[in-house]
């Protein structure tokens, strides 16, 4: 943070989750006060344990489907299960979190005149007919499928954000987040990178759905969090939506093979039927992020996977010989019940 820039009081909903915990860490490093709000449905206290001794950090257990009354300068709305395993477990609550949560956080932002960031998703594009996906593409989404609670919930949240801007003048930021990975992912969240790494480290077959030729593009968490902060602090006329992700596209089969190589695993690859409404291609066009924010990912897939493998290896008690776990972060933060 610039020496002449005052610190802010920043609310992060979903702050004990994978992305949220990294964002809290970054905001504290930048000198801000952080209020981490989480209902701990998928968030974990272990993700923020190293922040708890910092006097500028607070934790509040709260579900954002209910109103929240606090005084803050900025709001990052990250609260919502993001993996199919978790958001399909209670689809009604997933939709409530996206829609009621957005209404409550936008109401708070309106009341206290705070700028608010919405963590939207590439899932708003559904199974796209346009590739790579640009922000102007309206998507191809099944409104009644198994993934609809998340896809349509996030699409509705984007509508609410835009209407609060037009009707009430709320300062908003809407980011469409593409696949992100890194340390602190939940080991059983059912997402590609965590699945592949855990299976490789424990000697299980690597599960690839379909023929493995469907593609994704993966962004390392540090790059993504840097984009969040840069977008939040950008000029007021840049409200989004804006794609944030890594445009380097790879097939599921290629990623599985790279994980096997980096872990030194003897795991084979096991093919299973493709889940319902699973997109065949997903890759962001980040031209707007490059031109408007001067941002693009820096961490290569090999480097990011290596760091993530080291994190999971610690959790399962193995130690891939070529990679070391990241150094422990200094202890920071306090908790409020």
Catalytic machinery residues: 150
Note whether 250 and 216 are within 8 A (CB): yes
Q: Which residue has the tokens 């993530």?
A: 308
CA distance 249 to 146: 25
φ, ψ (nearest 5 deg) of residue 227: -65, -40
Burial class (CB in 10 A: 0-12, 13-18, 19+), 158: buried
Note whether 72 and 9 are within 8 A (CB): yes
Residues in the chain: 337
Query: What sign does the dihedral 133-135-138-142 (CA atoms) show?
Result: positive
Note whether 182 and 222 are within 8 A (CB): yes
Note whether 153 and 97 are within 8 A (CB): yes
Which of these, 127, 150, 125, 151, lies nearest to 139 by C-alpha position?
125
CA distance 238 to 294: 13
């Amino acid at each position: 943070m610039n020496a002449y820039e005052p610190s802010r009081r920043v609310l992060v909903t979903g702050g004990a989750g994978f992305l949220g915990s990294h964002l809290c860490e970054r905001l504290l490093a930048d000198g801000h006060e952080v209020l981490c709000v989480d209902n701990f449905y998928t968030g974990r206290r272990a993700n923020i344990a190293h922040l708890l001794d910092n006097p500028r950090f607070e934790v509040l257990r709260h579900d954002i489907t209910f109103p929240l009354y606090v005084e803050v300068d900025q709001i990052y709305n990250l609260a919502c299960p993001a993996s199919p395993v978790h958001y399909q477990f209670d689809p009604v609550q997933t939709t409530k979190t996206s829609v009621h949560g957005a209404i409550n956080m936008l109401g708070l932002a309106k009341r206290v005149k705070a700028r608010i960031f919405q963590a939207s998703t590439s899932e708003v594009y559904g199974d796209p007919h346009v590739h790579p996906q640009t922000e102007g593409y309206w998507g191809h989404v099944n409104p009644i499928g198994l993934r609809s609670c998340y896809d349509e919930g996030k699409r509705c949240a984007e509508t609410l954000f835009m209407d609060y801007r037009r009707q009430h003048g709320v300062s908003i930021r809407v980011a469409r987040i593409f696949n992100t990975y890194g340390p602190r992912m939940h080991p059983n969240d059912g997402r590609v990178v965590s699945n592949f790494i855990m299976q490789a480290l424990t000697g299980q077959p690597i599960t690839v759905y379909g023929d493995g030729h469907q593609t994704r593009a993966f962004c390392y968490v540090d790059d993504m969090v840097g984009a969040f902060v840069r977008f939040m602090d950008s000029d007021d006329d840049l409200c989004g939506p804006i794609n944030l992700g890594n445009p380097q596209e790879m097939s599921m089969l290629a990623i599985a093979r790279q994980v096997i190589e980096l872990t030194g695993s003897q795991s084979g690859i096991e093919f299973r039927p493709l889940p319902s409404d699973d997109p065949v291609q997903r890759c962001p066009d980040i031209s707007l992020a490059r031109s408007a924010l001067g941002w693009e990912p820096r961490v290569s897939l090999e480097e990011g996977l290596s760091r993530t493998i080291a994190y999971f290896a610690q959790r399962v008690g193995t130690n891939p010989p070529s990679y070391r776990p990241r150094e422990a972060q200094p202890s920071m933060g306090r908790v409020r019940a």
